Structure 1
């Protein structure tokens, strides 16, 4: 599912970053790898792309693996509080007006092939996630396969397009940053309130350049990449951006000649990968940071059925699970011995989006038809049937931007119209709107995860309700639904969960801004764009809430879609491991993988 990316693919904000460094360095780890130790974790979706900064690869299933194999300037703990990792690098504001931030990689930090991490890697990260070098007005949609979500062979070779740009926040750094050794200086065009959350090192610059430019030597490859960015060499950048977009999409262990796709700079490296079964990570011998893992080998098994994950835990086949919670899962876990169960509410919310453009049938081009369809969504029935058995206090969520209980939530529910217009199913009202629109039996093909039992049940409830009003709801569901999100012509509506990745106030920008990296339904409203731009630079918390209240209302005026519920969360782990302590933000259970301690005879 596409639910992990900077602040963009996130739930509503509950706090804002200030223009000062408020994070503190985490204490130095004294741990070391326990030779021969291993654990297995179950996850509900297979890994399929190492570049989780693209629209195709932006999924929690991918981000989990990227997190465990990548170093970064900061990360969230489970409180959640932002922690700096100064063993990877440091950053400081050298000017507040204009905003200038300097990042420096720490001495000794290197990629797993021994190549130093330096300013070339950071310059590539800026180019790829700012979109500044991109060819103006290029639309990749017409070169995207509606069956797979990936770019087709007809993709042009003479355009520059990094699929990781608008809405990241780095588009506010429009001038090529200055670099010097291991330091890069970002000069923002305007104050950007979430500057601390938007920048890090992604893919290795030397590998990208080696693959794109055919240069074997790592340093020569980096130098060529830097020169291409600094000189805006469109021919070289076209190849560099194409490699950055697509080469790291792999769903099994790369071949020997593609082994450089596995070069990373974090605590773990990918050591084995079998399609649709599992991916194995092994402690990185070249990792020099403070977050040294204690478990030598971590295998993530892909188990899409939550009850099957519970059974695997019971059988000792896996040690940690965090499945989508259902009543059956909760009941089954109570029967297990030697298992610790943690429950709560996650920073993930279910929502249904309607395609505003480039949809399968064009049904929702008419706002009256959008409104009619939203009147049929049985949100309360979904919550009562599927969520309340796990959380009796569960309620329908009525905001696109605010988490229930957060400042601003009650105000937005009172004013955005979601609860008022769509609080109850209105079949007669929906049918009347279809008659007003002059359409008969409009088709709505819905994309969802067919390998997820809860989503299968949701689809059945939505289909039955909408068909009563005169819609023809058809099944566009897929096991590979995550890569299809945002693909032109693939579906008319979709429901899935957005996972919060930070507490940034600008999180919603990439989702609702015209052309935003997480704007998967091609929504566009100039008023919303202007408000998001204002939000980028607003440091007054009260005004931040006012802006978000207005955006929330405009989204409902446009019949954008509906939110449904916050996810109930459950994590269970065996007595073979300790230190598992899930956080609410992505990567949830994996945020402190280096603190997990192996227990049991096979780890002694």
Structure 2
């Protein structure tokens, strides 16, 4: 990580903190009394998806609907600038300098202005620039929940933010009122994707520093960052990390303050979360439906049944042959297929695991030889998509430029067929007997339960002792020290950026959930960050793909088939391949006469 010393300057934006626009609000398009219910397979559990604990699609969906930003992806997919929220422009290319300006009338749902204090908080949290050096949070992470424990120290500064995404290449920003200017040490190829406003600064600072007035709270946060006030920053970072984690409607309604077209109004643990049109939203993406409820239904067939019963209006379950057959039998339902930008993979923990088994590369290789990837695809995916194939790259989408080249080079295709004898020989060479492997997965997901059964049977035959560490709360446990040895789940792409995978494989990256570290990979990722030539970008990724396989990082398994179905009570549902998939144009959904 590149470190730049903070400038010893002061700034104030307090005057803008409570200023409301004198302009008239856009005309509301909400149909009074209209409501839609959507089924999703995992409960919401945190309003700050920029932390490693909360970095999950289930959280990102809700946050997307309740917060606005400088841009978003449509379903083409293409990046769309939302200039009704704010604007950004490159003011210099050497060095790369970008100025962000939030519109005068952009505000939080509680009426407080969105401004540079919010951007400064996002910057300091997602660069880790002021984090206490050498602090290791793993000592204070609960292996049962994935959250920080009560023993977490109160005198350290540690923002558990989106590290390794490119924002760390920026110097301390210049800011004033509703503008912020970022200057990069080097030209970052995906600069347009790395910065946005996260949680509200006035909420964080007021709770962390016990300051009631929003303007004073914002100024206290600015002072803490500019002056490197360790005591204040310790409290601010601790609240930023954990203060927005909740699994039911919080008593402190400030925790659900957002800037988007909807705001959270009801939340029942493990059942549903409801959002209502935000009266203080001033952007262009005005919703037509007054109330959107997301029900948590983990079983795909149960989601289909809920759609058939009229209990939900939109579903996007994990696609299986049974789901397809059940949907085909329904009347007054539109079914859309396709392929998602999600791929199933299994990762091995390189350190801080439950049993330490995969600290040994021989055992990593042996275990990968037992993964029945072809059987998983044949059994679980091909009945729905006969053309489905095993995916053989960590970085390239099948069919994309570079995919065939990397498959011929990285060696992953050598692990398509199970090799029990080869695995047994490697276990013997490692000099261990009955190596234990705790596997984390979504135990409330039928397809994942079937996958686990296939992996367990194969690995057991080779001599591994497989521990069932499946959990309904698997998402919060990802990256938790001591919780597991291997895990399989789906990575959901959030952008088309060439550096999209960087936080997964970079040492210390927010998506690096298995303590992987390779200096060659880090150096190549650094080069990729600043490489504009498309051919060289592919070459770098091909090199990384092979290094990952040389380290027996893990295996990719298949690309997700997609299915979305919706009733005749709603129109304009047009799912996209990137996160947040079905929700990307929630403001375009319209109720029908049947609503």
Q: TM exceeds 0.5?
A: yes
Is the Cα contact below 8 Å between 2:568 and 2:594 reproduced in 1?
Answer: no
The alpha carbon displacement at 1:600 in A equals: 2.8
- Which of 547, 556, 561 is the aligned partner of 2:549? 556
CA distance in structure 2 between the aligned counterparts of 1:341 and 1:30, rounded to whole angstroms: 33
Q: Tell me the equivalent position of 2:165.
A: 168
Q: Tell me the equivalent position of 1:17.
A: none
- Which of 347, 352, 359 is the aligned partner of 2:346? 352
- Which of 566, 570, 579 is the aligned partner of 1:577? 570
CA distance in structure 2 between the aligned counterparts of 1:158 and 1:513, rounded to whole angstroms: 28
CA distance in structure 2 between the aligned counterparts of 1:136 and 1:405, rounded to whole angstroms: 43
Q: Tell me the equivalent position of 1:231.
A: 227
Is the Cα contact below 8 Å between 1:165 and 1:171 reproduced in 2?
Answer: no
Equivalence map 1:380-529=2 (5 Å):
380-420=374-414, 422-529=415-522
The alpha carbon displacement at 1:474 in A equals: 1.2
Is the Cα contact below 8 Å between 1:193 and 1:538 reproduced in 2?
Answer: yes
- Which of 22, 31, 36 is the aligned partner of 1:34? 31
The alpha carbon displacement at 1:166 in A equals: 2.0
How many residue pairs get matched? 571
Q: Tell me the equivalent position of 1:342.
A: 336
Q: Tell me the equivalent position of 1:546.
A: 539
The alpha carbon displacement at 1:30 in A equals: 7.9
CA distance in structure 1 between the aligned counterparts of 2:416 and 2:298, rounded to whole angstroms: 31
The alpha carbon displacement at 1:39 in A equals: 0.6
The 1:338/1:597 distance shift into structure 2, 3 A limit, reads same
C-alpha RMSD of matched pairs (Å):
1.0
CA distance in structure 2 between the aligned counterparts of 1:517 and 1:34, rounded to whole angstroms: 40
The 1:394/1:166 distance shift into structure 2, 3 A limit, reads same
- Which of 574, 589, 594 is the aligned partner of 1:596? 589
Is the Cα contact below 8 Å between 1:578 and 1:596 reproduced in 2?
Answer: yes
Q: 1:241 aligned to 2:237?
A: yes
Is the Cα contact below 8 Å between 2:52 and 2:162 reproduced in 1?
Answer: no
CA distance in structure 2 between the aligned counterparts of 1:363 and 1:568, rounded to whole angstroms: 33
Is the Cα contact below 8 Å between 1:339 and 1:572 reproduced in 2?
Answer: yes
Is the Cα contact below 8 Å between 1:29 and 1:291 reproduced in 2?
Answer: no
Q: Tell me the equivalent position of 2:48.
A: 51
Stretches of structure 2 lacking an aligned partner (at least 5 in a row): 1-24
Q: Tell me the equivalent position of 2:100.
A: 103
Q: Deviations over 1:371-423 (max 9, x none)?
A: 00000000000000000011110000000000000000000000000002x02
CA distance in structure 2 between the aligned counterparts of 1:283 and 1:87, rounded to whole angstroms: 17
Q: 1:147 aligned to 2:144?
A: yes
The alpha carbon displacement at 1:234 in A equals: 1.0
TM-score by length of 2: 0.95
Q: Tell me the equivalent position of 1:21.
A: none
Is the Cα contact below 8 Å between 2:26 and 2:282 reproduced in 1?
Answer: no
Equivalence map 1:67-146=2 (5 Å):
67-146=64-143
- Which of 259, 265, 268 is the aligned partner of 1:271? 265
CA distance in structure 2 between the aligned counterparts of 1:195 and 1:601, rounded to whole angstroms: 45
Is the Cα contact below 8 Å between 2:341 and 2:559 reproduced in 1?
Answer: yes
SS of the counterpart of 1:285? coil
CA distance in structure 2 between the aligned counterparts of 1:442 and 1:498, rounded to whole angstroms: 27
- Which of 586, 592, 598 is the aligned partner of 2:579? 586
The 1:416/1:115 distance shift into structure 2, 3 A limit, reads same
Q: Tell me the equivalent position of 2:9.
A: none
Q: Deviations over 1:251-304 (max 9, x none)?
A: 00001xx11101111000000000000000000000000000000000000000
Q: Tell me the equivalent position of 1:65.
A: 62
The alpha carbon displacement at 1:518 in A equals: 0.7
The alpha carbon displacement at 1:484 in A equals: 0.3
Is the Cα contact below 8 Å between 1:46 and 1:302 reproduced in 2?
Answer: yes
Q: Tell me the equivalent position of 2:186.
A: 190
Runs of 4+ in 1 over 2 A off after TM superposition: 28-31
SS of the counterpart of 1:71? coil
The alpha carbon displacement at 1:169 in A equals: 1.2
Q: Tell me the equivalent position of 1:25.
A: none
Is the Cα contact below 8 Å between 2:438 and 2:486 reproduced in 1?
Answer: yes
CA distance in structure 2 between the aligned counterparts of 1:595 and 1:77, rounded to whole angstroms: 12
The alpha carbon displacement at 1:179 in A equals: 0.5
Is the Cα contact below 8 Å between 1:176 and 1:230 reproduced in 2?
Answer: no
Equivalence map 1:311-322=2 (5 Å):
311-322=305-316
